[in-house]
Chains A and B, each alone.
Chain A
C-alpha cells in the first residue's frame, strides 16, 4: 500500500506527496501532459526535442544540471507518445534546489538560439543511433504508419523524419512551450524523506506564482475501427528475416486493459510462455519471439515480433503464430497458467515499487489518467481477471481484420 496525499495549487498545478522515511533521499518528478501524439503532423518529434531543450537553461538559471549536481542530485527525463516526464533524485535536505530548478523552467525557458542549434544536432544523432543506423531500427515507424491512418500514434516520439527536427525554429519551440508547459498541464510529485506540510509550503513558494496557463484540451481523432487486414513487405540490408504483426487494443483506462496485459504474459511472458515454447523451442521456426504492448493511454497496439530461423518461410512462420492465437481464442486457459501470469504480475508490481523514482513516476502517471489511487488498485484488477475474460479479449483482438502485418526481409547474401 503506497500512502500519498494530493492537493491542487490555485494556479491549477496538481501536487502529490508520498512520504518514505526509510531513505535519506527525495525524488521530485514533474510530468507534463504532452507527448508525441499532441504534435502537429508536419512538425513531429517536438515533444522529444523539447525534452532536450529543457536542459539548455531556464529564464533565471543558465544551467539546470550544474546546481543539481552540486547539491548531490541526478536527473533524467523521457518522452513517450503520451507524456513527458522529468525527474531528479537528491538528498532530501537539499530538496529546495530541485524546487528552484523545476519551477524556473516551468516559468520560462531561456530560449537560446545556440542551445536549439546544438540540441537539433544531438537529437539528429540520437535519431541515427537508435533508428537509422541500427538493423530493424525503422520497423516501428513502418508499423505505426500501417496501423494508424488517423490517430497521431502513427509516428514515433523521435519524429516521423529527420527534417522535422532539422527545421524546428525557435518560434515553433516557444509556441510549443506556452501551449503545454504550464501549471495547469502539469503534475508535481514528491517522494522520499519529506513531510506533506513542508512540500505544500515549498510548492506554494516556488510554483504558486507561475501563471496557470491555458488548460490544453486534447481533441485527437480516434482511430476508426479497422475493417480489413493490412500488410507491408520490406527488404533491407539485415542478415535475418523478421516478422511483425500488430493488432489494435483498448485504451489504458478501459477495463479490458488488464485481460489484454495478461494475454501478452500468457503468450510471451517468459521462457515457459506459449509462443516461445511452441514456436522457438518445439517447432524451431523463430530464433526469438515476443508479444508486447506499450501501455499507451489512447487505444494502442499489441504486437508479436520475432526473428525467423534461417530457411523458414515467412508464410509458415505466420501460420504457426496464427495457430497459437487460434488456440487461445478457442479454448479457456487452464487455472494454473492463469495463476502463473497473475503471480508474475504481482511480482513485477512489487519490484517496481521498490524504487523511489518509480513510485514517483507511477503516482504521476495514474494522476494523469485521472485517479492517483489506481497505484494501489492495479493488482486487484489483475487478480479479478477470469479465464473467460481472457478468452473474450483474445477473440476481440486477434481478428484478421484488426491486424497489420510487416514482413521484414533481410538480404541472404548480406551475412
Chain B
C-alpha cells in the first residue's frame, strides 16, 4: 500500500540549473541580423521578420496596424487570393502582427517547403501595393468587429485602463474607433510601408529544424534588399496619465458582470526590481494558487478567474490586476484585492509559500524550454529589449534568491491601493 498521506519525495525545481540553448547569430549582406535556434524533433520551423514598424512610428492612428494587415493583400504580381493560396498550398501559415514598437511577418511551416515560400515573403516586403479595394473591405469589417467588441465589458475595460495609464495620444493608450478607421487613406499606408518596411529596419528570428543552407538561403532572398540602411527615427511619446484614479462605467445596462481593472504604473522591464517583482506578482495573482485566486475565486466564488501581471511593454509599463466578476460583487472583489495587497505589505510571506512559488516558476520555465519556438521566443524577448545575453541566468538567480523580507519590501514599494487606477465596466 502506498503512503497516500504525505507527498512523495520531490526534488525542488530551484535545485535545477536551467540552460537556455544558445542562438547562432549571423548577418546578411545588407546588415540584417539573423538569430537562429536549431532544435526540435519535428521537421518544422518558424521564421519571423521583425520590423520597427509598430504604432510607435505612425503619425495617424491605425496606420501601422492597417499597413501590417494589408501586407498580404496584394503585390503588383499577385492578388490577395493568390498570395494566400500559395502559402496554404504548402501547408504554411503566414501571419502578421502589429505591436507597439514592432510589427512582424511570421511564417510557420514544414522545413521542406521553405525554398518555395521565401521568394513570396520577399515579394511582400518589397512589392506590396496595399490596394484601395482591400483597404475598403478591411475598414468595413474592422468597424463591424469593433461594434461587436464594444458590447463586451472586458474589451472596453482594457481600452480605458490603458488610456488612464498612458493617455489617449500615447501608443500604449490610444485605441481604434470608427472615425479613425474612416480617416485611413491608402496613400498614408503606402508612405508608411515604404519608410518602415521596404526601406525599414528589420531583424530575423528563425527556429526549428533548420536546413543546412539556411544562411545562404536567407541571404539570397533578403540580403540584397534595401533594408537596414537608415537608422530608425528617434521618436518620443510623453505619457499623459489621467489625474482621476477611480472610474465606474456602465457600458451595457443589462450586463450581469463587471470587468475590473486595477493598475499602477511600473517602471518597466529594465528596472532592477523586475525579476523579483515577477515573484511578488506571482504570489499576488500570477498563478492558479495565487492569493487573489484563492481568496476571490476559491474562497468567495466571485469570479471564474482573477490574474495580475506586468504589461509586456518595451518602455513604460503597468502592474495590472484583471478579472470579470458578478455585477453585485465587483466592489467586494476590489476590496478583497486591496486586502491582499495590505496583507503582503504588512506580513512577510512564509518560507513555505515562497518556496512553492519559486518551484512553480522554475518548473514552468523548465517546461517552457524544450521546444524550439519557446527557446526562440525567450531570446527574442531578451534581444529586442536589449536585456543582455546573461539576462536569462540572472533572472533565474534572482527568482531563486529572493527572500520573504525582499518580497515584503517590494510589496511596500508598489502595492499601495491609492496608487492604482481603479475601473469597473459593466
A211 to B197, CA, bound (A): 65
Q: Is B388 an interface residue (CB 8 A)?
A: no
| Cβ of B7 to closest chain A Cβ, rounded Å | 5
Q: Closest A-chain residue to B5, C-beta based?
A: A60
Q: Which residues of A contact B302 (CB under 8 A)?
A: 121, 125
Instruction: Pick out which of these stretches binds chain A: B49-57, B233-241, B252-260.
Output: B252-260
Q: Tell me whether A346 and B362 are in contact in the complex, defined as CB-CB below 8 angstroms, given that A25-B370, A240-B144, A307-B144 are known contacts.
A: no
Q: Is B26 an interface residue (CB 8 A)?
A: no
Are B85 and A340 in touch, CB under 8 angstroms? Answer: yes
Q: Is B108 an interface residue (CB 8 A)?
A: yes
Q: Mark B1-20, 1 if CB is under 8 A from A, else 0.
A: 11011011111110010000
Q: Which residues of A contact B326 (CB under 8 A)?
A: 125, 128
Q: Is A415 an interface residue (CB 8 A)?
A: yes
| Cβ of A66 to closest chain B Cβ, rounded Å | 6
A391 to B165, CA, bound (A): 56
Are B288 and A128 in touch, CB under 8 angstroms? Answer: no
Are B363 and A72 in touch, CB under 8 angstroms? Answer: yes
Identify which of B42, B147, B287, B325 gathers the most chain A CB atoms within 10 Å of its CB. B147
A345 to B92, CA, bound (A): 10
Q: Which residues of B contact A271 (CB under 8 A)?
A: 72, 80-81, 84, 88
Q: Which residues of A contact B7 (CB under 8 A)?
A: 67, 70-71, 97, 100
A348 to B324, CA, bound (A): 33
Q: Which residues of A contact B12 (CB under 8 A)?
A: 70, 72
A69 to B290, CA, bound (A): 11
| Cβ of A342 to closest chain B Cβ, rounded Å | 8
| Cβ of A259 to closest chain B Cβ, rounded Å | 18
Interface residues of B in 152-207 (CB under 8 A from A): 152-153
| Cβ of A167 to closest chain B Cβ, rounded Å | 16
A347 to B111, CA, bound (A): 10
A71 to B373, CA, bound (A): 25
A201 to B176, CA, bound (A): 58
Q: Mark B302-328, 1 if CB is under 8 A from A, else 0.
A: 111000000000000000000011100
| Cβ of A50 to closest chain B Cβ, rounded Å | 16
| Cβ of B91 to closest chain A Cβ, rounded Å | 3
Are B89 and A309 in touch, CB under 8 angstroms? Answer: no
Q: Number of contacts between A and B (CB, 8 Å)?
A: 214
Identify A70's interface contact among B110, B150, B303, B360, CB under 8 A.
Answer: B360
Instruction: Pick out which of these stretches binds chain A: B293-301, B334-342, B397-405.
Output: B293-301
Interface residues of A in 75-110 (CB under 8 A from B): 89-91, 93-94, 96-97, 99-100, 103-104, 107
Q: Is B211 an interface residue (CB 8 A)?
A: no
Q: Which residues of A contact B355 (CB under 8 A)?
A: 70
Instruction: Pick out which of these stretches binds chain B: A221-229, A294-302, A352-360.
Output: A352-360
A242 to B288, CA, bound (A): 36
Are B92 and A309 in touch, CB under 8 angstroms? Answer: no
Are A117 and B152 in touch, CB under 8 angstroms? Answer: no
Q: Mark B99-129, 1 if CB is under 8 A from A, else 0.
A: 0000000001110000000000000000000
Q: Closest B-chain residue to A71, C-beta based?
A: B10
Are B364 and A240 in touch, CB under 8 angstroms? Answer: no
Are A309 and B140 in touch, CB under 8 angstroms? Answer: yes
A309 to B40, CA, bound (A): 44
Are B147 and A71 in touch, CB under 8 angstroms? Answer: no
Q: What class of interface size applies to chain A in its complex with B?
A: 35 or more
Are A270 and B88 in touch, CB under 8 angstroms? Answer: yes
Q: Is B419 an interface residue (CB 8 A)?
A: no
Q: Which residues of A contact B43 (CB under 8 A)?
A: 350
Q: Which residues of A contact B299 (CB under 8 A)?
A: 118
| Cβ of B292 to closest chain A Cβ, rounded Å | 14
Q: Is B385 an interface residue (CB 8 A)?
A: no
Q: Is A277 an interface residue (CB 8 A)?
A: yes
Q: Closest B-chain residue to A58, C-beta based?
A: B4
Q: Is A269 an interface residue (CB 8 A)?
A: yes
Q: Is A376 an interface residue (CB 8 A)?
A: no
Interface residues of A (CB under 8 A from B): 22-25, 59-61, 65-67, 69-74, 89-91, 93-94, 96-97, 99-100, 103-104, 107, 117-123, 125-126, 128-129, 132-136, 205-206, 209, 237-240, 269-273, 277, 280-281, 284, 287-288, 307, 309-310, 336, 339-340, 343-348, 350-351, 353-356, 415
Nearest 6 CB-CB pairs, A to B? A72-B363, A121-B301, A347-B91, A72-B13, A343-B91, A272-B84
Interface residues of B (CB under 8 A from A): 1-2, 4-5, 7-13, 16, 40-44, 72, 80-81, 84-85, 88-93, 108-110, 137, 140-141, 144-145, 147-148, 150-153, 254-257, 287-289, 297-304, 324-326, 355-357, 359-360, 362-364, 366-367, 370-371, 373
What are 10 inter-chain pairs, A to B, with CB distance below 8 A?
A: A69-B357, A71-B363, A91-B13, A125-B302, A133-B153, A135-B148, A238-B151, A280-B137, A343-B90, A356-B370
